[in-house]
Structure 1
Amino acid sequence: MQRAYGLMNTIKACYIWTNTFNDAEIAEMMVVDACFVLGFLIVMHVSYRGKSYTGKSLKLCTIMHDLVLLENQIPLFFLHEMFQCTVLKLKSDISFIQLIKPVIVSNNLFKAKLKFDKVSFGTNDHFLSLLHQCYMPPDNIKKDDMTKIIHSAIDLDRAGVKFKPSEDPTWLMGMEVKQNRVPCFFWSWNRPTLTMPVLSIDDTTEFLFRNLIAYEQSFETQSYVTSYAIAIDMLVNTQDDVAKLVESKVLVNYMGSNEEAANMINNICKNVSSDDSYYEEEWDKLNKYCNGYWPKHIAKMRSTYFSSPWSIIALVAGIILFLLQALQTIFTINS
């Protein structure tokens, strides 16, 4: 408790509700919360079978997810102080970063591993801000004003754009359009590829996105998660778009159906405003390609004549009817 009283002014600076409680109540809440979190993380770290959480995977997952809720955040500097005067004295072979790492890793949105080595925390940091740091773009990727809109995944596919998972990306949320550097006359040999991180869609995806976006909207920080969510929202309009991304192995859908996944993605950015984009350069490449003569007309043809089995059947029937009519005309002339 003495640690809490000694850090009271710093603790109060992290919250807006501190006028509602006196110092004793705040100190008690902070100590109780910190002890619970540290106790839970120790159980997770040592996997001790006698503890109440072990063996109950649903509770474990629920608590892990609850720890990154925006309304549940506890300042890491205070958690670190409590760690030093409790856990470290009993178990000196573990660092604070090692202890809290499972919380961040278990809430990863992507299949690629989080790069946790460069993560650091300050006075105002908490679990959610650390998770946010893990998605930070490198310095060479600059944000621009959001001015461009791209087609959905299925429309891009009809125009000839391919989708491919990113291999060892320098930025976990990075998307890159790779084009053939040598101009080629044949359309099929000059198709661009959009490389993307492999996104996992499950029942926790929406709440993770919403909390990260709420954090960006509430604090003075870069809005790269919001930019990514808007980008995915542009790519996905219907369940067909989800099916295409799943087929291309850039999206893993653990939800009940592609329609559920599409609805979830479309709901993430509702009532969210952002003027920042980290993909403008790549979207410019896509739009220039899609507005070209051949991609535009091939996409229109595929949308009109090959969008469903019935349209394909109708096209084939029309061609057969035309050929039969032509043959009949030829035989009539010859006879």
Structure 2
Amino acid sequence: MKESIEDAKKGYALEVEDVLDVEMLLIDGCFVLKLLYRYYLINYPPKEKNQISTGNPIFSSIQMCPNVQHDLILLKNQLPFFILEKLFPFTLDRIPDISLSLSQFVILYFSNSMNYESKVSTIPKKSRKFNHHILHLLHNNYLPDNDLPKEEGLSEFMHSASEFDYAGVTFMPDSEQGMFNFKVKFSEARGIFKWCHRACFEIPSLCIYDFTEPFLRNIIALKLCCPGVTCLFTSYAFLMDRLIDNAKYVGVLGKAGVICNYLGANEEASDLFNKLCKEVVLGEFYFSEACKKADEFSKH
């Protein structure tokens, strides 16, 4: 840690000479790693053990677990990821029968709070990109394998769900389970109704928890200050903001299976997206093609 302290300081935008020291790197790093290991052993216990003791201040408290997860995704609380990578091999030997990578531990820990299938076998062994910190790793984990086309600025063809619904556009969850798979498909009309095509707007399904808003907000903030971060999440937030113009259409998208609202009232879910992008400048917009197709159908 003494060898890493100067490189760690370069990861912060503000002067941290007075607060960042070797002891902080060591204690914070070990805390995060032990948290990841404890979560794994509780939820994926070794075969020879039926139960892992949860008698600690975090996992024995229902409220403490989400609070710690929330704190770990705040941009201002991030620890340089290379610090965790340096400590990881020294601590992993103390955890029996585990062959996961550090990235897998992190993704599993947050999988219960995000719209992600928590199966160890489906999580990549190694992260495909360089990670500045945990929040950056979660950002990279959601990126699609293929680059999406983009345009400068928000699409002028973007309408609300109420306008699309009035024009006869139906909504359904995307079948590919990708966070950014927005598509518009047209059904085939037959017989005397060959002129009448129906449009279906396929939208990635989203479960909205208390964790959703701080996660998206911090990912958007990450884009504003970190090089190499795409506008995908910002585009996603802008698109959902335009679609959800009021609480009524949270219910419409909910009935279509696009949104699962665990916040309670639909007003809370609509407020989440309507306030998320205030005073945020959108660079590129990634979903223009789907929006244009839906707009063309609406005009017809």
> Which band: TM-score by shorter chain?
0.7 to 0.9
The yes-or-no answer on 1:49 pairing with 2:44 is no
Residue deviations 1:161-192 (CA, integer Å, cap 9, x gap): 011111124x4222000113668863895111
Name the structure 2 match of 1:40: 35
C-alpha RMSD over aligned residues: 2.5
Contact 2:37/2:95 (<8 A) preserved: no
After superposition, residues 91-170 of structure 1 pair within 5 angstroms as 91=96, 93-95=98-100, 96-108=102-114, 110=115, 116-117=123-124, 120=127, 124-146=131-153, 147-169=155-177
Contact 1:145/1:275 (<8 A) preserved: yes
The yes-or-no answer on 1:226 pairing with 2:234 is yes
Q: Which runs of 5+ in 1 are unaligned?
A: 293-335
Distance change (3 Å), C-alpha of 1:282 and 1:183: farther
CA distance in 1, matches of 2:192, 2:126: 47
The yes-or-no answer on 1:281 pairing with 2:289 is yes
Contact 2:169/2:198 (<8 A) preserved: yes
Contact 2:182/2:204 (<8 A) preserved: yes
Return the offset for 1:259: 1.7
Q: What secondary structure is seen at the aligned counterpart in 1 of 2:93?
A: helix
Residue deviations 1:97-144 (CA, integer Å, cap 9, x gap): 333232332342x36669642761766521111111122133242221
CA distance in 2, matches of 1:288, 1:138: 29
CA distance in 2, matches of 1:50, 1:262: 37
One-letter amino acid matched to 2:55: K
Q: What secondary structure is seen at the aligned counterpart in 2 of 1:200?
A: strand
CA distance in 2, matches of 1:123, 1:230: 27
After superposition, residues 1-335 of structure 1 pair within 5 angstroms as 4-21=1-18, 26-47=21-42, 48-52=52-56, 53-89=58-94, 91=96, 93-95=98-100, 96-108=102-114, 110=115, 116-117=123-124, 120=127, 124-146=131-153, 147-169=155-177, 171-180=178-187, 186=193, 189-220=196-227, 221-292=229-300
CA distance in 2, matches of 1:78, 1:40: 15
Distance change (3 Å), C-alpha of 1:111 and 1:37: closer
Contact 1:116/1:134 (<8 A) preserved: no
- Report how many aligned residue pairs link the two structures: 285
Return the offset for 1:31: 0.7
Q: What secondary structure is seen at the aligned counterpart in 1 of 2:207?
A: strand
Please give the TM-score of this superposition, normalised by the length of structure 1: 0.77
Considering fraction of residues, name the structure with more helix. Answer: 1
CA distance in 2, matches of 1:211, 1:183: 48
CA distance in 2, matches of 1:191, 1:280: 20
Distance change (3 Å), C-alpha of 1:74 and 1:122: farther
Q: What secondary structure is seen at the aligned counterpart in 2 of 1:5?
A: coil
Contact 1:161/1:194 (<8 A) preserved: yes
Distance change (3 Å), C-alpha of 1:229 and 1:51: same
CA distance in 2, matches of 1:289, 1:118: 43
Distance change (3 Å), C-alpha of 1:156 and 1:43: same
Return the offset for 1:287: 1.0
Distance change (3 Å), C-alpha of 1:45 and 1:152: same
Deviates more, 1:25-34 or 1:87-96: 87-96
Q: Percent identity?
A: 28
Higher relative contact order (CA 8 A, sep 6+): 2
Return the offset for 1:243: 1.4
CA distance in 2, matches of 1:84, 1:271: 42
